[in-house]
């Protein structure tokens, strides 16, 4: 049995393309419909109520396109709104990025000291600490919001001196806490992987939630016999929806995905706002 419908993936903006990239790498025949709410990004500094509302609107746009699975490729929405989304969406599997990242960190931390970096809302929610301590209550979890990382990535300042300074500013104290593993708890952060790794040193393993989320999606699709039977190039047959096409949109998208984005369409904010619980 196969299910040839696309996988729905959404993020507050373009950061979730790091998850899309891993999906195409693991499951090259799967098509996705990606929604990036580029008009309303960032979500990370917004209230819980707004993050939940935006998250459900994004999910509903994709549900209306008959997706077979929903991947919440945004740590902020996954941290604040997973239960809310799951109460509204019952027909298809809904997965977020927090649990897969937390599970990977638990397996990796021999010292039982894990660092988590993310947006202010992600850190405030305590989602990663909860997920990690549900698996192993003995693990100490240290969280740090790094709000400047997202704009640096959006500006394409990846290997820049300014980025190195900001990374040092946020992460030096993390290193002193004796962690041996650090979760990149924001979809933009894998893009800064190299500069983060060189700043914290090789003793600390970095966990990229994007990679582990794609693996979880693959496991679920296989277990539920919902993988595609189509022999197509998933990336080239995928659709990318955004709520705003900004001047540096293509550059950022190509940095995140590593290739030129095919099939970009605009979904207006009005259309998003029409979606009610
Ligand atoms: N995509 C968001 C996340 O992973 C980062 C950007 C934002 O603040 O919306 O948390």
pLDDT tens for each residue of 261-270: 877 899 999 9
Distance between Cα 7 and ligand 1 center (Å)? 20
pLDDT recorded at residue 252: 80
Q: Answer whether the bond into residue 61 is a cis peptide, omega within 30°.
A: no
- Known catalytic residue at 143: no
How far apart CA 270 and CA 124 sit, in angstroms, is 29
pLDDT recorded at residue 262: 77
DSSP per position, 122-171: HHHHTHHHHHHHHH-TT-EEEEEE-TTHHHHHHTT-SS-HHHHHHHHHHH
Is 228 near ligand 1, meaning CB less than 6 Å away?
no
Specify whether the CB–CB gap between 129 and 143 falls below 8 A.
yes
Percent above pLDDT 90 for the chain: 82
Q: Rounded to two decimals, what is the model's pTM?
A: 0.94
Condensed to tens digits (0 to 9), the pLDDT of residues 18-38 reads 999 999 999 999 999 999 999
Check pLDDT > 80 for residue 248: no
Q: Give the residue, by CA position, lying nearest to ligand 1 atom 7.
A: 42
- Known catalytic residue at 186: yes
For range 151-177, the mean pLDDT: 90
Is 55 near ligand 1, meaning CB less than 6 Å away?
no
Candidate list 143, 146, 181, 186, residue with the active-site label: 186
Q: Give the residue, by CA position, lying nearest to ligand 1 atom 8.
A: 44
Specify whether the CB–CB gap between 97 and 164 falls below 8 A.
no
Q: Is 126 left (phi over 0), alpha (psi -120 to 50) or beta?
A: left
CA dihedral of residues 166, 107, 221, 259 (deg, nearest 10): 30
Is 121 near ligand 1, meaning CB less than 6 Å away?
no
Condensed to tens digits (0 to 9), the pLDDT of residues 37-63 reads 999 999 998 999 999 999 999 999 999
Check pLDDT > 80 for residue 201: yes
| Rg of the chain in Å (alpha carbons) | 18
How far apart CA 85 and CA 216 sit, in angstroms, is 18
Model confidence at 276, pLDDT cuts 50, 70, 90, reads confident
Distance between Cα 36 and ligand 1 center (Å)? 11
Task: List the one residue out of 72, 98, 94 whose CA is nearest residue 209.
Answer: 98
Distance between Cα 229 and ligand 1 center (Å)? 33
Place of tokens 């990535």: 153
């Amino acid at each position: 049995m196969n299910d040839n419908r696309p996988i729905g993936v959404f993020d507050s903006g373009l950061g979730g393309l790091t998850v899309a990239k891993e999906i195409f790498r693991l499951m090259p025949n799967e098509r996705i419909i990606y929604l990036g709410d580029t008009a309303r990004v960032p979500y990370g500094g917004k209230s819980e109520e707004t993050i939940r509302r935006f998250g459900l609107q994004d999910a509903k746009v994709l549900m209306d396109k008959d997706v077979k699975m929903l991947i919440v490729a945004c740590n902020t929405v996954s941290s604040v709104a997973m239960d809310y989304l799951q109460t509204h969406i019952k027909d298809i599997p809904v997965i977020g990025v927090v649990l897969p990242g937390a599970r990977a960190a638990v397996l990796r931390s021999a010292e039982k000291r894990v660092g988590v970096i993310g947006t202010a809302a992600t850190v405030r929610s305590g989602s990663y600490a909860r997920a990690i301590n549900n698996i192993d209550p003995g693990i100490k979890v240290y969280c740090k919001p790094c709000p400047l990382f997202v704009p640096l990535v959006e500006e394409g300042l990846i290997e820049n001196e300014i980025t190195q300074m900001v990374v040092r500013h946020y992460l030096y104290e993390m290193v002193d806490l004796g962690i041996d593993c650090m979760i990149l708890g924001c979809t933009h952060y894998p893009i800064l992987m190299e500069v983060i790794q060189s700043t914290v040193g090789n003793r600390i393993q970095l966990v990229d939630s994007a990679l582990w989320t794609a693996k979880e999606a693959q496991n679920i699709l296989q277990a539920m016999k919902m993988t595609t039977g189509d022999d197509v190039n998933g990336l080239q047959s995928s659709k990318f929806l955004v709520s705003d096409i900004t001047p540096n949109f293509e550059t950022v998208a190509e940095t995140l995905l590593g290739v030129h984005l095919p099939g970009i369409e605009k979904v207006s904010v009005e259309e998003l706002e029409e979606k009610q619980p």
